[in-house]
Amino acid sequence: MHTSTLANPCLDELSRLQLERNALELEVCGYTVVEEAIDPDLTARGLEATLRTFAERRGKRPDVQTGEGYEGYWSSHYMLLKDPAFERILMAEKVLALIDYLVGEDCILSSTTGLIRGKGGGDTLPSGYLPLHGDDISPQPHPAFNNFASVNVFLTDMTEESGCLAFVPGSHKRLRQPTAQERVLAGEGANREAVPVVAPAGSAVVWPSHTWHGSWESPTAALRVTLALLFGRPHLQPFDLYRESVPDEVLERNSPRFATLMGMDTFYGWNDNRDDWMKQWRDRDRSRYAPRVV
């Protein structure tokens, strides 16, 4: 007699990449750290591209050592198309296998955000710490399945001295946002359930977006730099408009899976182009929808 085996491509991929423990951590704790999610060369390229993008958009290049002009907390959206390094980071296979496990392999990329934490809170974050929150923007109580999954890729070391991330283990099971009191990360009323996440550059932390997380104030001038990725189920509206704007040449140099992440398998988005009503975005003439870049 033979015992039946369970066929599931997603679980097979997790086993192939030896991510079983990470999947278990996602279930039990609501977050997991993947070390060496991207290699040192890609980490360096991702860091350089992030610093360059901040320089272009803010008119001042961040200096990772001195942190001058980047006190507090800074974010910059719609990073993906700023450099091909971000395309490669997006496709990092261990992270993507865990994302598939959380929100399915038909998920779409909702946002790519560069994050810089400098010393203290500055004008950008007067509380110093980033209050605990969940990234799931669905109505509460949240559904018991995952609509969104979040990733932070560490482009510099994530240390306690750099104002590291804080997670509340098990909070993904509460299916709600923290209360005003539960959000607090410093002082007398600080939430004692929060634990630090530290890991070297090149690592990534992955979580179902229900999990409560934030970060502590940094006491040091040096900058910590991360790339935040948000993935969502394909019927949910993304933050970044990649579906309309990703250039054909970017789709051509990447895999079909990359195109799925860009929303090319979705149908939503009808207007007077009646010949597109039955077409997925990958089959449309997207130049008819491309936003005017100002």
Ligand X SMILES: O=C(O)CCC(=O)C(=O)O
Residue 75 or residue 255: which is nearer to ligand X going by CB? 75
- Alpha carbon 104 to chain centroid, angstroms: 15
Taking CB atoms, the residue at the shortest distance from ligand X is: 215
**270 CB burial (10 A radius; 0-12, 13-18, 19+):** exposed
Residue 43 or residue 152: which is nearer to ligand X going by CB? 152
State in angstroms the smallest separation of the CB of 226 from ligand X.
5
State in angstroms the smallest separation of the CB of 75 from ligand X.
8
Q: Are 258 and 149 in contact (CB under 8 A)?
A: no
Residue 38 or residue 165: which is nearer to ligand X going by CB? 165
Residue 117 or residue 174: which is nearer to ligand X going by CB? 117
Short-list 202, 272, 263, 258, CA closest to 238:
263
Q: At which residue do the structure tokens 């140099």 appear?
A: 253
Report d(CA 178, CA 242) in Å as an integer.
31
**Using the rule CB under 6 A, is 254 a contact of ligand X?**
no
H or E stretch covering 205: strand 204-208
Short-list 207, 71, 212, CA closest to 134:
212
Residue 14 or residue 125: which is nearer to ligand X going by CB? 125
Residue 102 or residue 165: which is nearer to ligand X going by CB? 165
What DSSP state is assigned to residue 124? T
Binds ligand X (CB under 6 A): choice among 71, 135, 136, 276: 135
Q: How far is CA 40 from CA 30, 268, 270, in A?
A: 27, 38, 43
Residue 87-116 contact track with ligand X, rule CB under 6 A, x = bound:
----------------------------x-
Tokens of 76: 């910059």
**Using the rule CB under 6 A, is 228 a contact of ligand X?**
yes
Residue 140-179 contact track with ligand X, rule CB under 6 A, x = bound:
----------x-x------------x--------------
Binds ligand X (CB under 6 A): choice among 172, 213, 243, 286: 213
Beta bridge partners of 73: 117
**Using the rule CB under 6 A, is 130 a contact of ligand X?**
yes
Other CB atoms closer than 10 Å to residue 136's CB: what's the count? 24
State in angstroms the smallest separation of the CB of 163 from ligand X.
7
Residue 146 or residue 226: which is nearer to ligand X going by CB? 226
How many chain residues interact with ligand X (CB under 6 A)? 11
Report d(CA 113, CA 231) in Å as an integer.
12
Residue 4 or residue 237: which is nearer to ligand X going by CB? 237
Phi, psi (deg, nearest 5) at residue 159: -120, 165
Q: At which residue do the structure tokens 């490669």 appear?
A: 88
**Using the rule CB under 6 A, is 226 a contact of ligand X?**
yes
Which residues bind to ligand X, rule: CB under 6 A?
115, 117, 130, 135, 150, 152, 165, 213, 215, 226, 228
